[in-house]
Amino acid sequence: MDIRLIRANIALAEDDRLEVLRLLEAYRHSPDTSNVHDSLVMWLEAHAQTDHNALIRHLEKLLKKTAPYDPYHQMAHDYLWKEDTYADTIADVQHQARAVPGLTWRRVMGGTIGVVLTIVTITFLLRWTGRNEELATIPTRVAIQATAPPTALPDNTQRLNLNDHMARYEGGLLMVAALEDESLRVIDNLTRERLEPVEGARFYVLQLHFECRQGICSEPPEAILSLILDNEFSVPPRDGAIVQSEETMTPIALGRRTVGWVVFEVPVVSEPIGLSVTPNDLLGRENPVTIALPSLNSP
């Protein structure tokens, strides 16, 4: 993908609309411009508009000039459908308000709010009356302990320079931002209980930043990961394991970034030397790439 389109995506994510339009204009006047990314250009140009009506017009133009199977055609269709649904809802409410003589929009909203407040007040009074005896009881030590937050596990994270540990492929840009060897913060994804590695192993966790470079990244980082060890073996991520109080990757669209942690279980006698990234390419056009990891013995 042309570097100007990538920068335009980043500028849109930062809400710099003038920069988006400038980059798109430079892309159009470039001698090596092709029509492969026309739908992406129209999508970016639409969302760079400062006027909402202009945004709608550009999306309608995108629908007319792109094929139904194009991902940006589908995104534009969904956006306009939601706009129409919202407009129809507002029109129905306003019509109902006009249908009753003397009933205005403000009166409809005022009456609705009044009913809601009345219900909330009655519910509060009923609960208050029924719990007078409970409120008079001094809370016990056991009750206080039951609501206490979980104990924070020790954090020995080592921060890394993103630019020194990255992989580029068609689906996106993957960067290693931090690592934690012999992590004690690994917990079960469902029970939230602390996990222990098998005998003779330890937990090695990585913080990953992923930037989407395609229409929709529904399964970031859009690749299969494995940890390469110094004895030429590799291990996949530990299923069902997460890092306490840390985020996990979520689906994102083109130009957006998501952050998450991945857990590996490795032998205590082995040292991780790289992260293997195999892109999710059904046609097999892309080869695995490796992100080098710093030596644990380095100062």
HEC string of 83-107? HHHHHHHHHHHHHHHHHCCCCCHHH
Q: pLDDT at residue 152 above 70?
A: yes
Give the global pTM.
0.51
Tokens 């400038």 correspond to what residue? 22
Q: pLDDT at residue 4 above 90?
A: no
Residue 134: what pLDDT?
Answer: 47
What distance in Å separates the CA atoms of residue 23 and residue 280, rounded to the nearest whole number?
A: 29
Lowest-pLDDT range of 21-25, 81-85, 225-229:
81-85
Task: Please state, rounded to an integer, the average pLDDT across all residues of the chain.
Answer: 81
End-to-end Cα, the chain, rounded Å: 39
Q: pLDDT at residue 100 above 80?
A: no
Q: pLDDT at residue 145 above 60?
A: no
Mean pLDDT of 51-61: 88
Residue pLDDT, tens place only, 110-123:
666 666 666 666 66
Q: pLDDT at residue 254 above 70?
A: yes
* Architecture of the domain whose range is 158-292: Sandwich (2.60)
Q: Where are the domains of the chain?
A: 3-84, 158-292
Tokens 């009074």 correspond to what residue? 125
Residue 114: what pLDDT?
Answer: 65
What distance in Å separates the CA atoms of residue 193 and residue 12, rounded to the nearest whole number?
A: 40
